[in-house]
Amino acid sequence: MELLCSPVDRGYPAEYLLARIKGRRARLIRDWKRLIFDAGLFDASPPSIPDGMFKIKSPVSIGAELVREYRWVYEQMNRQLRRIFAPFFLYTELRTVFMCLRRLKDRKAGALDELLATSLLSDTVKDILLVSEDLKTAVARIETLFSSQSPRYAGLAVTLESEGLRGVEQQLTDRYLAETVRSRLHPLMKEFFSRLIDARNALSLYKFLRLDLTKQPTFIAGGSVPEARLQEIAKSDDLLRACALIQELTGVSVDRPDPTSIELALYRGMTRWLRKAGRDPFGVAPILDYLWRCSIEAMNLRVLYYGRDLERETIAAEIVQP
């Protein structure tokens, strides 16, 4: 069963898409410092971003612009590129699935239609999210759909009963990452997903030690750090060892061992790796680098939006420089 839509393959060569992306990359925001300290940024309605691709109307509109840009890239790809990047796009669309499941409780008129208008999800998935009469039914149908890809997705409906929707979101994401990294991937995509798993495992380890939790964290298989090492650090009850691991993975020094600093280090580590890989003018690396840069720009704009009343230095510390 297809989980992503299948637009017409126009047969464009990879070189065509690389050339288009090179031009669109020039529209991404470069001078974040100028925006951070622009006192009049939010005076206009909507605010104007002089050199950005996305417009700040609301956090929802930023997310919609990101999905729209992803869809544009996906539609320009030929069949071979779509096969390579399908795991990435489906991973990003999990967020759409979760947002729709949350909104099933509200049933706001048109809310789900708006979310799914530009989504890359297949019609089958969209129908489940649109016509399911309640959350329990929707999750059961999502479980059936994903289980057609692998039996390891079984149990989502049970998780909903015991841990609620948040548990479903974590379980589906973790299983998706573990299943994806085990599949036959392009080497660059395999390393990307392995790094994603490392980041999620390191963050789980940090939160376990920082919050002094009693339940041992469940780590995702497929990262570069062996589970035995993660478990050993967890048992050591040494937060500094977790921070040292994060620095080892990202190459970013963690000066303040707080949640924000840890997450920023993980984002910056991935950004550095992709920026280096994306310097190759050929192949798929520049495409993945661009998609990641778009996601970072959207994330930074949300930080600006939510932090518009905070001290500028505080906001500057939470921006990921691409």
Average pLDDT over residues 269-296: 92
pLDDT at 106: 63
More confident residue, 85 or 314: 85
> What does 83-130 look like in DSSP terms, one character per residue?
HHHHHHHHHHHHHHHHHHHHHTTT--TTHHHHHHSS--B-HHHHHHHH
| pLDDT greater than 60 at residue 93 | yes
End-to-end, the C-alpha distance of the chain in Å comes to: 36
Please list, in sequence order, all residues whose beta carbon lies within 8 angstroms of the beta carbon of residue 96, skipping any fewer than 6 positions away: 67, 115, 116, 119, 121
Token pair of 251 as six digits: 């190459």
Residues facing residue 121 across a β-bridge? 4
pLDDT at 199: 95
| pLDDT greater than 60 at residue 1 | no
Report how far residue 287's alpha carbon sits from residue 275's, in angstroms, rounded to the nearest whole number.
11
| Mean pLDDT for all residues in the chain | 89
In order of 70, 101, 300, the CA distances from 135 in angstroms are 27, 6, 31
Percentage of the chain modeled with pLDDT above 70: 92
Report how far residue 11's alpha carbon sits from residue 265's, in angstroms, rounded to the nearest whole number.
39
Report how far residue 153's alpha carbon sits from residue 72's, in angstroms, rounded to the nearest whole number.
30
Residues 134-170 have pLDDT tens digits of 999 999 999 999 999 999 999 999 999 999 999 999 9
Give which of 3, 256, 248, 255 is closest to 124, Cα–Cα: 3
Predicted TM-score (pTM) of this structure: 0.92
Token pair of 232 as six digits: 């050993």
Report how far residue 280's alpha carbon sits from residue 289's, in angstroms, rounded to the nearest whole number.
11
Residues 304-321 have pLDDT tens digits of 888 888 888 888 888 998
Report how far residue 293's alpha carbon sits from residue 287's, in angstroms, rounded to the nearest whole number.
10
Q: Which of 101-105, 150-154, 295-299, 315-319 has the lowest mean pLDDT?
A: 101-105
